[in-house]
């Protein structure tokens, strides 16, 4: 069995349009999303206590997926009240 990096690279190269994980995915928390890139979104974990799951669009708008809406916009609130 090779290294985990080599195994992951092989699986990603062999997969078209999807990526499957058995079990859970852990993301390290961070204070903010990375720099915005046109045509790409980001899923990340905010350092709040307890931590919060966020989506950031390519315009830099943060959406609180956890539903707390302490900062940015909540996905639930956007669905109810619109953008």
Q: Is 64 left (phi over 0), alpha (psi -120 to 50) or beta?
A: beta
Q: Is the pLDDT of residue 23 over 60?
A: yes
- What pLDDT, on a 0 to 100 scale, did the predictor assign at position 64? 87
Q: Is the pLDDT of residue 2 over 70?
A: no
Average pLDDT over every residue of 27-53:
94
Helix (H) or strand (E) holding 57: none
Q: Is the pLDDT of residue 29 over 60?
A: yes
Kindly give the pairing relationship between strand 73-74 and strand 62-64: parallel
* Range from 5-14, 26-35, 50-59 carrying the lowest mean pLDDT: 5-14
pTM assigned to the model: 0.66
* Residue 61 to residue 77: CA distance in whole angstroms: 14
* Residue 81 to residue 23: CA distance in whole angstroms: 34
């Amino acid at each position: 069995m090779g290294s985990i990096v080599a195994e992951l690279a092989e699986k990603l190269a062999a997969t078209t349009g999807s990526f499957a994980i058995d079990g859970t995915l852990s993301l390290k928390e961070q204070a903010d999303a990375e720099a915005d890139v046109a045509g790409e979104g980001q899923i990340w974990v905010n350092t709040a206590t307890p931590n919060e799951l966020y989506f950031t669009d390519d315009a830099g708008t943060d959406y609180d997926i956890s539903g707390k809406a302490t900062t940015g916009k909540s996905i639930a609130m956007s669905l109810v009240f619109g953008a």
